[in-house]
Amino acid sequence: MSYDLSVFDPAGSKRGSGVGRVSRAILLRCYLILLGLCASAIAWPRSQPMRLVTATGTLHGTLELPAGRGPFPLALIIAGSGPTDRDGNDKSLGLDTDCYKLLAQYLARQGVASLRYDKRGAGDDFVLAIPESQLRFQTYVSDAVQWGEKLRDDPRFSTLTVIGHSEGSLIGMLAALKIPADGFVSIAGAGERASKLLLNQLKPKLPGGLYHTAQAIVAQLRVGRTVDQIPQSLDVLFRPSVQPYLISWFQFDPAREISRLRIPVLVVQGERDLQVSTRDARALYRAEPAATLTLIPAMNHVMKDVGLAGDN
């Protein structure tokens, strides 16, 4: 499969010569690095802790710097859903992938700095978890924007590209517009509204009557209405305290949001991903045809090479 990189060419890109020139290097390197991402850790001596002071507490991150002198192109890495920490791990679920840490280290070897950070409720920012009833999707977007603005003012860096993984893809799209960023990379990002994605995941798991009830609940949440009466079997998904967050999340359409970007865009999707499909990646690409679409045959949802059928 060949990949058209002409959208990053200053002479031919609709994005503008300056942005196209600097972002091409970042996005192309990211693509090459993802193709070679492996499970073995690589020691790197230039990791530095960073803090971001917000109105509700201090967020913590890790800055990965390449060897040599800057200014360096920089990537802001945004984690996916759940209490996933800056390295890509969720200790509560026994998830230990180091996927963001490995990505950051490979980027550094290619001359690209990066900042990855703990989400609220994860890692060192566990104590900054907002009560569920007060949490909104925009909370995560605001945190990403504040990190981006802080990095924008740092003279060690020349450009800033946002890399969003899974749920972080949509967060990254929204943040990239507000920072503003020089480039955007979506890794395993959904191509449709979370409401539709959720129903698609529930359909094969719920009996017909219960699925129709879930459909009716989602329909109310989609238009901003909370639902008081939730069947016990669906309470874990639609409990009253989580409904405001779902309402805030359901309003965003990833295909629409990615089409608003006026910067180079790279859409990366693993063909062995069991959570997000190549259909999602193609939906994002159709919405932003100037993007580069990269499908990696053996990559799963956490950016690991899991091999192909028939491999030895």
- Give tens-digit pLDDT for 143-180: 999 999 999 999 999 999 999 999 999 999 999 999 99
Q: How far is CA 72 from CA 3, 45, 172, in A?
A: 26, 16, 20
Q: What is the Cα–Cα distance from 225 to 30, expressed in whole angstroms?
A: 41
224 dihedral zone (left: phi>0; alpha: psi -120 to 50; beta): left
Q: What is the Cα–Cα distance from 165 to 163, expressed in whole angstroms?
A: 7
Quick one: tokens of 80? Answer: 């996916």
Domain ranges, ordered by start, for the chain: 6-193+253-296, 196-243
What would you report as the CA-atom Rg of the chain, rounded to the nearest whole angstrom? 19
Residue 32's pLDDT is what?
64
For 284, the 3-state DSSP assignment is helix
Quick one: tokens of 166? Answer: 């899974």
Q: What is the model's pTM?
A: 0.85
Domain 6-193+253-296 in this protein, CATH class: alpha beta
Residue 60's pLDDT is what?
94
Local confidence pLDDT in tens for the 312 residues of the chain? 333 333 323 233 333 333 444 455 566 666 666 665 543 444 344 899 999 999 888 999 999 999 988 899 999 999 998 888 999 998 877 788 999 999 999 999 999 999 999 998 777 776 677 888 899 999 999 999 999 999 999 999 999 999 999 999 999 999 999 999 999 999 999 999 999 999 998 999 999 899 999 999 999 999 999 999 999 999 999 999 999 999 999 999 999 999 999 999 999 999 999 989 999 999 999 999 999 999 999 999 999 999 765 443
How far out from the chain centre does Cα 39 lie?
Answer: 20
Residue 115's pLDDT is what?
98
